[in-house]
Chain A
């Protein structure tokens, strides 16, 4: 079984793809059958992925050498693209995580989407997404990865806009696609550069060639450029500043989608891509520093927005952006291990929180404002307590998963700083402060939603088991999944790392700081939003720092800037081009036509209709031509084919 799975890893994405085809062409009319097909395929993939994980994590050879097999996709002289499978601990981990989370979320969706008229369609999209995401994970070739990257983007687009009757959903979907498209443009350029300069897009070959980049006529500056261009893709896909704007809007989609695509899987594809191509980035310290700065800034920036948001899913979305910033930071300081670890734990606790939020929305019939909620934990204990688990995990309270991964990131950042990168201290400070903010805004939400007074107008009820079961599984994962990467027994770091394995001694001081920050954040939230039943202090603070509050509440007006740019610059120049086209280019054309018509009008007076006049002219012409040919220069006659 393990052997089979390793050699047939392409089945993992293929099963959901088949499910998509089956649903679209066969079972579309039957909702029940469609979801069954979809879930069965995903569970099949999960089984295979587990077997792969077993296979990979029991064989130490995989740490150094990944299992790669591929077939040609298309090609011609001097340009061949292969598609294939690349299995190593990182991709095995991702396969396992993605199949697990997707399966759980599909099960959850059978409850959440129960009465939706487009139920079957929803599951077909989820299957397609699963297929693309898994294809992305196992891709052995950058172009293959890019293809899947775009396909997950498509699924994201379709699923954000799933409620097609909502204008906001439609606009959000468009925005998501467009924003990621800008990143993809850069990424495409980067890929093109790699193809042109190194003649291959195969990850293994690139990894072998790039360290010797100077032999391929690539300067360090160009390589930095390539790296930055390639990084544009992840900036957009993983919601990094300044292309993060689509991610919060993406919450217009159904909540399982938010959990699956916009928290656990697709948005981490950017992080995964950087992780996959880290061999490129370690060559260019400049790009690495940029990644670290962007990551840290995004983490802080998004957290600063999250503290004032009111809609439950938006808070979670900004939290996702912030946590993705953490992962980027970890990559930027050169630790694949820490980044992937956070990716792994984050997938569980963030999916958990989104699903729980979905459960809340389900119960409250889509009232999303956290200020309208309260005391829900009494009516919805499973949802509530699993959410609390998620909250503890993200805030970084040991022994929950988030603590270990976040601590790891802080440790590697500190090490980065100690290795002579002065900026590292600033990054560390940002990361640490973000940790505090994270604990605060997350528990602000928890206190407002689940504790405190119940609101009379709400009639919450616990969700069905199909929705709570995934919550419980995810809660368990959120609690324990971090334990494989503790500083004392760092199994994780041993398997997933780049370059030499990371062997830091347990940094107890940092751990203590981290816990302290988390507790401080929770404590502040407790004081402001639980103890103070009327939340007077919180409102007073908001009043006192009105400009700051407004800035944060309006997301630093980034959206407005983009909207201005689109409307005033892009659309205006589009209109300008169009007017140029119809008045200038077409004007020339119509002008020429008018000249022709005018000369026709003039010449028509020659058309007298008098037959004999025509004949007169005709014979005159014959006479003249004959005379010219007969008595004119001799070459004139030869042109017309005559000989004198």
Chain B
């Protein structure tokens, strides 16, 4: 293993970013914050995909295309998610995710 960058670096980076995002998604009270953390996790996935694209399938561009789609979906998700959050917080007067537990038994 030379000094050149190999996928392990990027996987390590994306794993760290993913872990941070996951920590945020699990431990934050604020819904918006949770959404942001999810964005971080998606970003981590994107890094992974692009890295694999570079090192494994540079011709086919599969990784980048997937990343594009993920960004698209993420954008849609954020838009819709924020709309939902706004709607919910208007009705429920809260933005604490743990208060939104009316789907329990």
Point out residues on A near B: beta carbons under 8 Å. 604-605, 607-612, 615-616, 619
CB distance from B65 to the nearest CB of A (A): 26
Question: With A and B bound together, what is the CA distance between A604 and B105 in angstroms?
Answer: 6
B51 at the interface (CB under 8 A from A): no
CB <8 Å contact, B26 and A616: yes
Complex contacts, B34 vs chain A, CB 8 Å = 612
CB <8 Å contact, B101 and A609: yes
CB <8 Å contact, A612 and B25: yes
CB <8 Å contact, B103 and A609: yes
Complex contacts, A615 vs chain B, CB 8 Å = 25-26
B90 at the interface (CB under 8 A from A): no
From known contacts A612-B34, A612-B97, A612-B98, infer whether A607 and B104 are also in contact, taking CB-CB under 8 Å: yes
B55 at the interface (CB under 8 A from A): no
Complex contacts, A619 vs chain B, CB 8 Å = 22, 26
CB <8 Å contact, A611 and B97: yes
CB distance from A269 to the nearest CB of B (A): 71
From known contacts A612-B34, A615-B25, infer whether A605 and B105 are also in contact, taking CB-CB under 8 Å: yes
CB <8 Å contact, A610 and B25: no
CB <8 Å contact, A611 and B22: no
Question: With A and B bound together, what is the CA distance between A611 and B98 in angstroms?
Answer: 7
CB <8 Å contact, B105 and A610: no
CB distance from B93 to the nearest CB of A (A): 18
Question: With A and B bound together, what is the CA distance between A201 and B98 in angstroms?
Answer: 82
Complex contacts, B98 vs chain A, CB 8 Å = 610, 612
CB <8 Å contact, B25 and A609: no
Q: Which residue of A lies closest to B98 (CB)?
A: A610
Question: With A and B bound together, what is the CA distance between A619 and B103 in angstroms?
Answer: 20
Given contacts A608-B101, A609-B105, 20 further A-B contacts (CB under 8 A): A604-B105, A605-B105, A607-B103, A607-B104, A607-B105, A608-B104, A609-B100, A609-B101, A609-B102, A609-B103, A609-B104, A610-B97, A611-B97, A611-B100, A612-B27, A612-B34, A612-B97, A615-B26, A619-B22, A619-B26
Which of B22, B98, B103, B105 has the most A CB atoms < 10 Å from its CB? B105
Complex contacts, A611 vs chain B, CB 8 Å = 97, 100
Please name 11 pairs of A and B residues whose Cβ atoms are closer than 8 Å in the assembled complex, sorted by A. Answer: A604-B105, A605-B105, A607-B103, A607-B104, A609-B100, A609-B104, A610-B98, A612-B25, A612-B26, A612-B27, A615-B25
* CB-based closest 3 A-B pairs: A609-B104, A609-B101, A604-B105
Question: With A and B bound together, what is the CA distance between A610 and B97 in angstroms?
Answer: 7
Complex contacts, B27 vs chain A, CB 8 Å = 612
Question: With A and B bound together, what is the CA distance between A610 and B27 in angstroms?
Answer: 12
Interface residues of B in 11-63 (CB under 8 A from A): 22, 25-27, 34
Q: Which residue of B lies closest to A601 (CB)?
A: B105
Q: Which residue of A lies closest to B28 (CB)?
A: A612
Question: With A and B bound together, what is the CA distance between A181 and B85 in angstroms?
Answer: 77
Question: With A and B bound together, what is the CA distance between A604 and B101 in angstroms?
Answer: 14
Which of A605, A607, A611 has the most B CB atoms < 10 Å from its CB? A611
Question: With A and B bound together, what is the CA distance between A609 and B27 in angstroms?
Answer: 16
Question: With A and B bound together, what is the CA distance between A360 and B100 in angstroms?
Answer: 93
Complex contacts, A608 vs chain B, CB 8 Å = 101, 104
Question: With A and B bound together, what is the CA distance between A604 and B22 in angstroms?
Answer: 26
Q: Mark contacts of B83-105 with chain A using CB atoms, 8 A cut-off: 1 yes-contact digit, 0 otherwise.
A: 00000000000000110111111
Question: With A and B bound together, what is the CA distance between A608 and B104 in angstroms?
Answer: 5
CB distance from B21 to the nearest CB of A (A): 11
CB distance from A290 to the nearest CB of B (A): 74
Question: With A and B bound together, what is the CA distance between A608 and B98 in angstroms?
Answer: 10
CB <8 Å contact, A610 and B26: no
CB distance from A524 to the nearest CB of B (A): 93
Q: Which residue of B lies closest to A605 (CB)?
A: B105
Question: With A and B bound together, what is the CA distance between A607 and B22 in angstroms?
Answer: 22
CB distance from A219 to the nearest CB of B (A): 72
CB distance from B96 to the nearest CB of A (A): 11
Complex contacts, A607 vs chain B, CB 8 Å = 103-105
CB distance from B41 to the nearest CB of A (A): 10
Q: Which residue of B lies closest to A618 (CB)?
A: B26
Complex contacts, B102 vs chain A, CB 8 Å = 609
Complex contacts, A604 vs chain B, CB 8 Å = 105
CB distance from A527 to the nearest CB of B (A): 96
Question: With A and B bound together, what is the CA distance between A607 and B101 in angstroms?
Answer: 10
Question: With A and B bound together, what is the CA distance between A611 and B105 in angstroms?
Answer: 13
CB <8 Å contact, A610 and B101: yes
Question: With A and B bound together, what is the CA distance between A604 and B27 in angstroms?
Answer: 24
CB distance from B37 to the nearest CB of A (A): 10
Question: With A and B bound together, what is the CA distance between A324 and B34 in angstroms?
Answer: 98
Which of A605, A612, A619 has the most B CB atoms < 10 Å from its CB? A612
Question: With A and B bound together, what is the CA distance between A543 and B7 in angstroms?
Answer: 121
